[in-house]
Amino acid sequence: MAMLQFFIAVDVTVVNVALPSIGAEFGVDGHALTWVVVGYTITGGGLLMLGGRLGDVFGRRRVLLCGTALFGAASLLAGLAPSFGVLVLARLLQGVGEAVALPAAMAVIVLLFPEGPRRTRALSVWAAIASCGLVLGFVVSGFLTELLGWRWIFLVAVPFLLVVLVAVPLLVPAEEPCATGVLDLPGALLLVAGPLLFTYGVVSAGEGDGPVPWLSPVTFAGAVAAGVLFVRVERRSPDPLVPLRLFRNRPRVRANAATALVSAALSTSFLLFTYYLQNRLGAGPLRAGLTMLPLAVSLIAASVLVPRLLGRWGARVCVLGGIGFTALAMILVALVSRYGASGAAMIPAMVCVAAGMGLGIVGLQYVAVSGVTEADAGIASGVQRAADQLGGAAGVTLYVGVGFARAPEGPDAFLTTSGLALAGLLAAAVVAWRIVLPEEARG
């Protein structure tokens, strides 16, 4: 389970350092390359809750094997992709595989280890492996892209996923499905269709809509329509993907809204680091990956320190602190780009991003699941994770797509992108300021 979690986490960040190499091979510029990043996170985040439901209805082990097989096949397709379109398709399929496999893997761990110290240790290993996968993705991408080529960032996972496929039937006992009911397929499709249409509209606008006039407005309208239809479908569904009663809790709604906005800036910062180091300074993938090593180390340190700070300071203070650090990071990125400083000058921004991710996202996760019942805990966690992934995808699409649409290698692109991210963070701060948990209000 930890091996599967590691490579799923790695694939969130591993493409960042490799993007310039991918663009050079396929002749694709900066804003179109956002598809390689957001294709994975959109389908993964949008289908995550459906994946959890599939495990309940069809059995966790069976769904785990299907999701892992799909993720492995999509990784192989990405590594062998003959064109940019096939690569994007493979990334979309990787996200589907993640959404199917990850909830089932989490449920298997809970079932295999009884409640108490053993389960706590198992979940701690699971969380640590996820954090390591996210942070090591930057460094692994640099080494593989420099020494073997960008295709190996996808191919390296395939043999390890085969080990998972062989080991699961041997080590995980089969179980009977524990739930019945109708799968909310329309809701799941609409939850993915909206962000995909939004992404397509932004990329099309950056390319001037090509030979089809009014393409961007039509796709933006389609994205809005998908959002409206999603709410209507969930309201009428006998077994909704996202029960609307969850949104009666105002702190939870604000936490999820702030999560999307903060994640949008954080995901954007990763691309800005890569584009500056490689496109502006001409650093190779290996050097870029090593330059981003302080970001990885800082993220690990933040994951250790933040739980203690959360108990001492409270959720709102931590969240606002995280937003502040992220905003400072975007300001530093703009200044470094404006004056053409060295790659080392980006390190303070990277440390601020790590602090922002640790304080902001972890604090918001705490708020998002506070006060939930046992029956709603899984759904609330799924909604928060979806807000994180879809918010990050939307941020990369909008901020990078707009900022890099006209002058992808000039300082103005970094200034525009950083400015848009700062505007989103200001909105996140306004929302987070109004987050007050019941226990904090009593205190």
Structure tokens at 134: 């996210």
> What does the radius of gyration of the chain's CA atoms come to, in whole angstroms?
21
- Is the pLDDT at 295 greater than 80? The verdict is yes
pLDDT in tens, 111-164: 777 766 777 677 667 766 776 777 677 778 888 888 888 999 999 989 999 999
How far is it, in rounded angstroms, from Cα 385 to Cα 382?
5
Q: Indicate whether 264 and 171 sit together in one domain.
A: no
Alpha carbon separation from 417 to 26, 154, 208, 218, 398 (Å, rounded): 24, 28, 19, 24, 9
How far is it, in rounded angstroms, from Cα 93 to Cα 72?
10
pLDDT in tens, 63-95: 899 999 999 999 999 999 999 999 999 999 999
Q: Indicate whether 164 and 286 sit together in one domain.
A: no
pLDDT in tens, 158-168: 999 999 999 99
Q: What is the mean pLDDT of residues 104-116?
A: 76
369 is a domain residue: yes
The CATH number for 20's domain is: 1.20.1250.20
Alpha carbon separation from 43 to 35, 93, 167 (Å, rounded): 12, 8, 26
Closest by CA to 13, choosing from 281, 288, 280, is: 288
- At CA 313, angle to CA 307 and CA 314, rounded to 5? 80
Structure tokens at 337: 């780009």
Give the list of residues 6+ apart from residue 357 with CB closer than 8 angstroms, or none: 266, 299, 302, 322, 326
Structure tokens at 144: 């593989």
Q: What is the largest CA-CA distance in the chain?
A: 62
Residue that terminates a domain, selected from 226, 241, 256: 241
Q: Indicate whether 10 and 153 sit together in one domain.
A: yes
140 is a domain residue: yes
- Is the pLDDT at 440 greater than 60? The verdict is no
> What average pLDDT is seen over the chain?
83
Q: What is the mean pLDDT of residues 31-56?
A: 83
Q: Indicate whether 64 and 172 sit together in one domain.
A: yes
Residue 443: the pLDDT is 47
Q: For residue 69, give the 3-state DSSP assignment.
A: helix
Structure tokens at 374: 């046992």
380 is a domain residue: yes
Q: Indicate whether 156 and 250 sit together in one domain.
A: no
Residue that terminates a domain, selected from 241, 268, 289: 241
Residue 323: the pLDDT is 93
Residue that terminates a domain, selected from 222, 241, 260: 241
Alpha carbon separation from 335 to 53, 346, 410, 414 (Å, rounded): 46, 10, 13, 9
199 is a domain residue: no
Q: Indicate whether 147 and 281 sit together in one domain.
A: no
Q: In which domain, by residue range, is 42 found?
A: 1-184+237-241
Q: Indicate whether 308 and 432 sit together in one domain.
A: yes
Total number of domains constituting the chain? 2
Q: Indicate whether 39 and 132 sit together in one domain.
A: yes
